[in-house]
Amino acid sequence: MQLEREALHTLSWSKLENTNAGHIQTLKDATGSTVAQVTTDGAEQLLTVQGQAAPWKLTGSKDAGLTALLPGGQVFTATGRDRQIGRATVIDVDCTRNTYVLLNETKQDWVIDDAQGNTIAQFTGAGHGVRAPSIEFREGVVLPDDEAVFLSWIAREALASKLLSSTASLTISLVFVTIFVLLVFFL
């Protein structure tokens, strides 16, 4: 697969679709062409990239980090520098040839820097960013297609993990507040 350079400026994930076998989410470029598709069946996640004969195997957890095993044997990884991916403010990405850093600038806004510290892309969880995340690359940025796809997947996972993490915290807080209120009014 060779992405059009103009189409690479934005890669967007569709909303998650339920199927009988699991879930599917599609990655599209700026022209609306399908670039890749993630299928989840139980615990197994596969990423099928257009033009590649075999899918990538996606493994890992938000705690230990995320890994993609590509058909040629390459392994791409992403790990939270300061904590698990769902709570990380810095995520280190190793794509074998190149390394990147995802930086959480504000609560929902992220940038992606290359190894030299240059910002090459951005994404956000604001609006519908968690349900249908988009990654916007800077003009003139040229990345290998497999790295652009992997960075897009990590962006999607970072946003989803952050949402789950904050939802869990909110739920626990509400349980404690409810117990406190009940104790205050009934004791």
> What count of Cα atoms within 13 Å lies in the side-chain half-sphere of residue 83?
8
Q: Where in the chain are the domains? A: 7-186
Task: Note whether 17 and 24 are within 8 A (CB).
Answer: yes
What are residue 22's phi and psi, to 5 degrees?
160, -130
pLDDT tens for the chain, residues 1 to 187? 445 444 458 898 888 888 887 888 999 998 889 999 998 887 788 989 988 889 999 998 766 789 999 998 999 999 998 777 777 889 999 999 999 999 998 878 899 999 999 999 999 887 655 567 889 999 888 889 899 999 999 998 888 775 445 555 556 666 667 776 777 777 7
The number of residues making up the chain comes to: 187
Element (H, E) at 159: helix 145-186
Read off the pTM. 0.79
- For residues 165 and 24, give the distance between their C-alpha atoms in angstroms, rounded to a whole number: 22
What are residue 50's phi and psi, to 5 degrees?
-55, 135
Please give the pLDDT value at position 163: 47
Please give the pLDDT value at position 18: 84
The pair of structure tokens assigned to 48 is: 């099928």
Please give the pLDDT value at position 6: 47
- For residues 108 and 75, give the distance between their C-alpha atoms in angstroms, rounded to a whole number: 28
Please give the pLDDT value at position 182: 72
Please give the pLDDT value at position 122: 93
Please give the pLDDT value at position 58: 92
Task: Note whether 54 and 73 are within 8 A (CB).
Answer: no
- For residues 68 and 56, give the distance between their C-alpha atoms in angstroms, rounded to a whole number: 6
